[in-house]
Amino acid sequence: MKKIRICKGISCRLNGSEKKMREYEQGFNLKAGEQNDKIDLDFCGCTGHCCNAVNVRKDDKVFSVYENGREVERIKEKNNLILKDNFLGDI
């Protein structure tokens, strides 16, 4: 099971962590704090990478999520999940 945590530190909140969580909730068909057999989705405290906000922690690695989706793609390539249409594409 992959643990995905979206930073809720002040920089990430100001840069859209709540919006990112809504996108992840829709894509994974989970709400923050829920899990299924593949994903455990929730918020976390500050990851310490404030200059790169919004940050997402997947297991023990931290990724920055920009609007262009490049960093999201890095996360996508490292897990084997099938996501809903138009959310990071099919894996």
Cβ-based neighbours of 10, under 8 Å, separated by 6 or more:
46, 50
Q: Among 27, 24, 20, which residue's Cα sits nearest to residue 86?
A: 27
- In-domain check, residue 6: yes
This model's pTM is above 0.75: no
CATH number, domain at 48? 3.40.30.10
Residue 87 reports pLDDT greater than 50: no
Cβ 24 vs Cβ 4: under 8 Å = yes
Is 41 inside any structural domain?
yes
Q: Which domain holds residue 7?
A: 2-78
- What pLDDT, in 10s, does the model give residues 11-66? 999 999 999 899 889 888 999 999 999 899 999 999 888 888 888 888 887 887 76
Strand 55-58 to 2-7 pairing:
antiparallel
